[in-house]
Chain A
Amino acid sequence: MQKYFKRARVAVALLFFIAILISFFDVKGNLPSAFQNSALYLQFTASVLKFITPGTALSIGFIVVIAMTLIGGRIYCSTICPLGILQDIIIFIRRKFTKKQQLRFKKALNVLRYSILILTLVSITFSGVLLINLLDPYAIFGRIGTHVFQPAALLINNFLASFSFLSLPTIEYSPFSLSAFIIALAMLFIIVWFAGTSDRLFCNSICPVGTLLGFLSKFSIFKIKIAHSTCTQCGKCQTVCKANCIDIKNMEVDETRCISCFNCIPVCDLSGIKYKRLKTVPVKTPDNKKGLQRRILLTAVTSYAASKAIPFNTNEISVTEEDLYFDRGPVAPPGAKSIEHLKERCISCHLCVAVCPTKVLQPSFLEYGFTGINIPQMDYNSYFCNFDCHKCGEVCPTGAIITLPQEEKHVTQIGKVHFQVELCIVESEETSCGSCSEHCPTQAVKMVDYNNDLTIPKIDPNICIGCGACEYACPVTDPHKAIYVVSNPEHLIADKPKQEKIEFNDTEEFPF
């Protein structure tokens, strides 16, 4: 019966992988958000972050994962983690198309993996979720999905769409973010390299989630074990172990690195290796851990000091009081509450970027500072935030962007409009324009009478929500937009536009 475990694992893994991939291919945000929510519910880090964020839906996916691990080991790593499954796919392809290479037992890189885990946890106190952002497997996969897989899928779709008999719609490409693309591509290369040369080494030496779940696996009820009585030490199991954790010489399996992929079970003709219920063994702590911790602490302190020594967003460029364009700060999406909150929760999986229907949400580079690298920001050159849409908040798996009810989204002020009249077409060219006001959903930018039957924008920042429609639509480019949004680092609540029902007296006669 255990012979079928592997097939079941593959089936479940593919199911998760495809669902997660589809989540990231939802270019226009057309899928019901519940789809993304369920596909990603068990993503470990995201679930933890969402759990500790007040005002979000109940997020206990990580508890399920912990429970799963305590029962059967690192099932997360082989069936739920998209980056793990991606590596399995790469390993599968490699082994299919190259001379079947026999896998070997390797020693665990304990110092490396526990240092990374500890450093990641310790670093939260001074650089927020930066290391989680860079190392969490789901976040890495998300960035690859958004910036490599999604454009690739669109390319293929649009190529096929050029054959009219297929009657496929062409889909617009999302704005290209060079920094995000490079980071995602670099991560993809690293993953391909790891999987192509060293199997699941990434999961067993770098990935902090893998290390943590590996540690928990010591206590799991079911483990892969070699039956000393039946095993002939033929080593077949070892040659198919992607985690390189079967030590056939000593007939031992390193449960901290076993990802419960069950590859080993069906290859054994004698049922000598099995998933078994076992008593837990006492935990052996690596001897050098204390010294290591001290070193880590030291590194942490120095890097913290260093990060303070090089401040970002310096205000050295002197600007006139009026011109805030180059000093208006990054704008966090509605539901992020504040830039601080966003930085504390966002692991840059970029799901919001992938599904934002207008593509106003784009990855930042260093706009939020180094510790906020790649976190999404509102980019009003790409587009503007749709008044009635809150897809980003609906899909965010970490609670970095909280789902806002429609009415609250309508008044959530993420920034304020700023107007430089001297740059405005109406003032400089003395011709009509009104592009900004045209797009403004609250009429915080309103056209009022001006010289010679013209109308000119008048702003009311109190009812502005910072959606950026005015900035996007403004035709002025030299030296920059005449109207733009200045960020609210803390999001505020805007006043509702005052509206009275328009009066209309019907007449019997035609007016002409």
Chain B
Amino acid sequence: MKRREFIQKSIGVTAGAGALLTTVSFAKAFGAEKPATGPYDLVAVKGGEPDEMFKKGIAALGGMEAFVKQGDVVVVKPNIGWDAPPERAANTNPILVKAIVEHCFLAGAKKVYVFDNTCDEWTRCYKNSGIEKAVKDAGGEIVSGKEKKMYKNVTIEKGKKLKTASVHELILDSDVFINVPVLKNHGGATMSLTMKNMMGIVWDRGFWHKNNLHQCIADFASHQKPNLNIIDGYNVMKRNGPRGVSVDDVANMKYQILSTDMVAADTAATKIFAVDTKKVKHIAYAEELGVGTTDLKSLNIKRITI
């Protein structure tokens, strides 16, 4: 968030010197033609396996080094909300999570933490999602998201409905926050994407459900921005989300989206899912709050097919 603000300001002052680093389209800022090369605002990968998709995708964004510096403490937040095996796609793909943690260490991360405030009983979620093992294999540390004392109150300045929230300490204290939702249908929020996934870093979700869920999701996104978002669209739960009933709900779509812009990433995900972006109201609400843009045409997008 801060980086982008800084960058946006620096664009104004130093006429695009900072634009090479930024993820906000300088094309948009200067009204120029879209460049054929990077930097990219959004990378979409199609085909292949989750780890190689990520490898190609992150390379297009300048590698993990663009996000993780030597000695950084990183927190990766996949969706581990459900006691379901990987093939049910209720949780983020463990192979992807493993690849992300590995890349963080390759980029010089000191520590990589992974957690989620789960819906089902957390130890079962961690185990049966395959994510606990994936994280440990990659040398990361998986921690409980169910310790209330770990959550600290923050004020949501721009929040319309959500004025305060209790956020997990790891998110507040880490140098880098990587948000890794799984692309899926959601009965209440229409879709579960990057901004919806952030409900797993706060304590009292009941309040959100009670007080205009979509607005709360957008409000929180205006406050807490991940340094990088990776949407796992490898296996996609097309209906009965977010928990799903069986593997019959799942289509092997093989997509992955990487972006620092949550609104843009979520917009792209709705197109992949073939649902009207407007129906996922928190996307428009978040755009209104300046979280990002739904105008994909204005963005510099890299499309990779494997």
Contacts and interface: CB of A to CB of B under 8 A. Distances in A.
Interface of A: 28, 30, 169-170, 172, 357-358, 383, 386-389, 425, 429, 431-435, 437-443, 446-447, 453, 455, 473, 475-476, 497, 499-504, 506, 510-512
B124 A357 contact: yes
B245 interface: yes
A499 B253 CA distance: 19
Contact of A432 (B83, B281, B296): B281
B10 interface: no
A511 B209 contact: no
A512 B296 contact: yes
Nearest to B282: A432
B155 interface: no
A483 to B, nearest CB: 12
A504 B46 contact: no
Nearest to B253: A504
A434 B245 contact: no
B188 A438 contact: yes
A386 B144 CA distance: 18
Given A438-B119, A502-B238, A502-B239, A447 B187 contact: yes
A431 B123 CA distance: 32
Contacts of B206: 435, 475
Q: Which of B124, B128, B274 has the most CB of A within 10 A?
A: B124
Contact of A386 (B46, B124, B187): B124
A388 B83 contact: yes
A197 B278 CA distance: 76
B243 A383 contact: no
B303 to A, nearest CB: 5
Interface in B198-218: 206-207, 209-215
Contact of A431 (B214, B252, B271): B214
A382 to B, nearest CB: 11
A388 B125 CA distance: 11
Contact of A440 (B207, B239, B243, B267): B243
Q: Which of B188, B190, B274 has the most CB of A within 10 A?
A: B188
15 contacts: A169-B144, A357-B123, A357-B124, A358-B120, A386-B121, A434-B189, A434-B213, A453-B278, A499-B249, A503-B251, A504-B252, A510-B44, A511-B272, A512-B267, A512-B301
Nearest to A27: B123
Given A455-B188, A502-B238, A504-B238, A170 B123 contact: no
A28 B144 CA distance: 14
Contacts of B33: none
A476 B83 contact: no
A447 B279 CA distance: 14
Interface string B121-148: 1011000100000000000000010110
B248 A446 contact: no
Given A453-B281, A455-B187, A512-B296, A431 B121 contact: no
When A and B form their complex, which 7 residue pairs have the shortest distance between CB atoms, in order from nearest?
A434-B188, A447-B187, A504-B251, A437-B187, A431-B212, A434-B187, A475-B209
A170 B147 contact: yes
Q: Which of A429, A437, A476 has the most CB of B within 10 A?
A: A437
Contact of A476 (B128, B210, B246, B296): B210
Contacts of A501: 248
Interface in B46-90: 46, 83
A425 B253 contact: no
A511 B83 contact: no
Contacts of A443: 240, 245
Contacts of A172: 146-147
Contacts of A473: 119
Given A434-B186, A475-B209, A510 B46 contact: yes
Given A502-B251, A510-B44, A28 B123 contact: yes
Contacts of A499: 245-246, 248-249
Given A453-B278, A502-B250, 20 more contacts: A388-B124, A389-B121, A425-B209, A425-B210, A429-B211, A431-B211, A433-B213, A434-B186, A434-B187, A434-B213, A435-B206, A438-B188, A453-B281, A455-B190, A476-B210, A499-B248, A501-B248, A504-B253, A510-B46, A512-B44
Interface string B208-235: 0111111100000000000000000000
Given A388-B83, A502-B238, A357 B209 contact: no
Contacts of B245: 441-443, 497, 499
Contacts of B44: 510, 512
B179 to A, nearest CB: 19
Given A441-B243, A447-B187, A504-B252, A357 B121 contact: yes
Nearest to B273: A511
A510 B189 CA distance: 24
A438 B187 contact: yes
Nearest to A30: B123
Contacts of A438: 119, 186-188, 241-243
A426 to B, nearest CB: 9
A473 B206 CA distance: 8
B132 to A, nearest CB: 13
Interface in B260-285: 267-268, 271-272, 274, 278-279, 281
A326 to B, nearest CB: 22
A378 to B, nearest CB: 15
Contacts of B215: 431
B194 to A, nearest CB: 16
Contacts of A506: 253
A277 to B, nearest CB: 53
A386 to B, nearest CB: 6
B56 to A, nearest CB: 14
Given A502-B251, A512-B268, A475 B210 contact: yes
A383 B207 CA distance: 17
Nearest to A389: B124
Nearest to A500: B248
Contact of A383 (B121, B211, B238): B121
A292 to B, nearest CB: 52
